[in-house]
Amino acid sequence: MATTLPTDYVDAQLKSGETLKKYNQIDNDDGTVSFQDVTEYEVVGSKHTAAAVNAQNKIINELNPTVYTATLSANATEVSFTDVTVSDDSKLFLYGKDTIVHYTDISISDTTVTYTVTAQDTDVEMKLEVY
């Protein structure tokens, strides 16, 4: 399921004629000070919360695949990737380094993904990207 992130954030705009934010300094009982924003704004800006950042990062992380590597031995017709984590909605992308390898079947059991492929004359480094 796609998540829609907010696209209506706005920057704060100071009251016309103002160029700097203004603060009151408050003396705390423990000897420290705090600052209270007393700036007059035309537009109060959006708050970019940790929840918004976390939602954005989650979506970005889902765009980055987990990459697994295996070697397709010369003349072999199967290549297996082990310790693979897939779910029902995972998308798998198989490719060989510097060559095109066609697959005719795929089987997924527990944490192993096996492709039945056309045999190659030489060993081929294979990559499996899981999104």
Q: What are phi and psi of 54, to 5 degrees?
A: -65, -40
pLDDT of 4 strictly over 80: no
- DSSP structure class, residue 47: P
Mean pLDDT of the 43-70 span:
89
The pLDDT score that the predictor gives to residue 2 is: 61
91: its two tokens: 């998308």
Mean pLDDT of the 2-31 span:
92
- Domain chopping of the chain, boundaries: 13-62, 65-130
Q: How many CB atoms lie within 10 A of CB 126?
A: 23
User: For residues 103 and 116, what is the distance between their CA atoms, to the nearest angstrom?
Assistant: 5
pLDDT of 3 strictly over 90: no
* Average pLDDT of the chain, as a whole number: 91
Q: What is the pTM of this model?
A: 0.56
pLDDT digits (tens, 9 = 90+) for 76-127: 999 999 999 998 888 999 998 888 889 999 999 989 999 999 999 999 999 9
Which ranges constitute the DSSP H helices of the chain?
50-63
pLDDT digits (tens, 9 = 90+) for 102-115: 999 999 998 999 99
